[in-house]
Amino acid sequence: MPPDSTSGPAIAPGERAQEDGAPVASLALALLATCQLVLVVDASIVNIALPSIQSGLHFSDAGLSWVVNAYTLAFGGLLLIGGRAGDLLGHRRVFVAGVAVFTVASLAGGFALTPGWLLAARAAQGVGAALAGPGTLALIATTFEDGPRRARALAVFSVVASAGMVAGLVLGGLLIAWTSWRSVMFVNVPIGVAIVLLAPRVLRETAGKDGRFDIAGALTCTLGSTLLVYGFVRAAEHGWSGGLTAGAFGGAAVLLTLFPAIEARAEQPIMPLRLFADRDRVGAFLMRLLLTSAMSGMLFFLTLYVQKVLGYGPLATGFGFLPTTIALIAASRAVPRLLPRYGPQPIMAAGAVLCVAGMVWLTQISATSSYAAMILGPVLLFGAGTGLVAVAATFVAMSSVEAGESGATSALLQSMQQIGGSLGVAVLVTVNDAAARGGSQVEGMRGAFVAGAVFTVLMLVTALLVFRRRRNDQGRSGSQI
């Protein structure tokens, strides 16, 4: 039975120290940020390793894509369950359990001898990630009191959540160049063990809630989310007109349409519908979806361009995206200082403008373009824009959320990232294939970047039209994050 919610957060003897000084709180932030980074990195780090995995385990071309998809489906499909489990049972408990599952699955994957073995391990990694992921934001809210320290903590979280896709390319390039594909699995193990051992010492447990789990809502949202992500994955591989693709989208539409009706009748819903009553929060979710859609598609095709057209190896390709991370970190550091003064709308609008500029620049790419002339500028602009949008959207999404609903809110925000990643790749691959039929491979990529620019324009429209909070309103709500 979870602790009584009226008794306040349960604090173990070793945790009291974090209330008295910054060092333990800083260690808590480092632990949570590292966990979030690993979970996001794991979705992209294997991309660099796929050729080695295929030759080492004799994957078919069709089966190879599921090394990525098995993780994505489990992670994206189970996030809401992970968030609700944390709200009911205590976020630290569920967080540690998720990291443990993720770590054991990573170890098993590193020893894989057959394709089925590796795919099962990747799916288990996704299950662990879905349990651990929502707790990162919720535990930040309980570890850091309102004010500048929580603002900085949320900024750090937003940076690692956005930079993880790029960091995965860099780390994957290094590991493959120095060792073998198995290292992209084994690298998670010491990090996961350290997190499991340190979490009880530096993270304060959140109070659980008495109540029953919303089984009908959990099944509906899990199956609906999984089918939606699968539909995008299938569309990217086989087009939008196939029977399985249409069936997946149709099933997702039915289930996700039923979901609000089920939640409206549930005594303790897995996703409280009042979270959608705040127009700004809905806008923040939409911004996160569009940002990740644009970024995932951009990274997918730039990785292909750099390797196939410019002839870069895996290591050089990874380092070629470092400027994105540098610009992202630099821009994100300014957001906590700007939010109380200007509010979220102008910050997200400015970030969207930078993303639009970067993507439009990429639409001019050609077979003779150089890295310095055609890639460095766009990735710097996009990185800076991502830093502004991601941090501000996280602030808005987590503003004024009740303690018992922080897990559900965090899970929904991260679901937007998972769905957005699949959506962006699916749309840009489709446009690329259509454009390449009448021209060259690079012309197809130009078409894909045009589609990416549409996502960024929609970000700008959302920033300008959806958010309505005035500066003073944001200043008050910012203290409630």
- CA-to-CA distance for 180 and 13, rounded, in angstroms? 43
- In this predicted model, what pLDDT tens digit does every residue of 67-110 receive, in sequence order? 877 888 788 778 888 888 888 888 899 999 999 999 999 999 99
* Res 454 pLDDT > 50: yes
Q: Where are the domains of the chain?
A: 21-202+270-478, 219-269
For residue 406, what are the contacts with CB-CB under 8 A and spacing of at least 6? Answer: 87, 91, 137, 138, 141, 206, 398
And the tokens for 184? 């992209």
And the tokens for 139? 């535990």
Question: 373: closest CA among 328, 325, 310?
Answer: 310
> What is residue 193's predicted lDDT score, i.e. its pLDDT?
96
Tally of CB atoms within 10 A around 213: 14
> What is residue 66's predicted lDDT score, i.e. its pLDDT?
79
- In this predicted model, what pLDDT tens digit does every residue of 108-128 receive, in sequence order? 999 999 999 999 999 999 999
* Res 475 pLDDT > 50: no
Fold of the 21-202+270-478 domain: Growth Hormone; Chain: A; (1.20.1250)
Residue predicted with more confidence, 117 or 6: 117
- CA-to-CA distance for 385 and 468, rounded, in angstroms? 21
Q: Which residues of 174-189 are buried (b: 16+ CB within 10 A; e: fewer)?
A: bbbeeeebbbbbbbbb
Query: Alpha-carbon Rg of the chain, whole angstroms?
Result: 21
Tally of CB atoms within 10 A around 191: 18
DSSP state string for 263-276: HHH-SS-SS-GGGG
DSSP state string for 398-456: HTT--GGGHHHHHHHHHHHHHHHHHHHHHHHHHHHHHHHHTS-HHHHHHHHHHHHHHHH
184, 45 contact by CB (below 8 A) = yes
Q: What is the pTM of this model?
A: 0.79
Cα dihedral 183, 188, 190, 196 in deg (nearest 10): -170
- In this predicted model, what pLDDT tens digit does every residue of 162-210 receive, in sequence order? 777 777 877 887 887 788 889 999 999 999 999 999 998 888 877 666 6
Percent of the chain with pLDDT over 70: 89
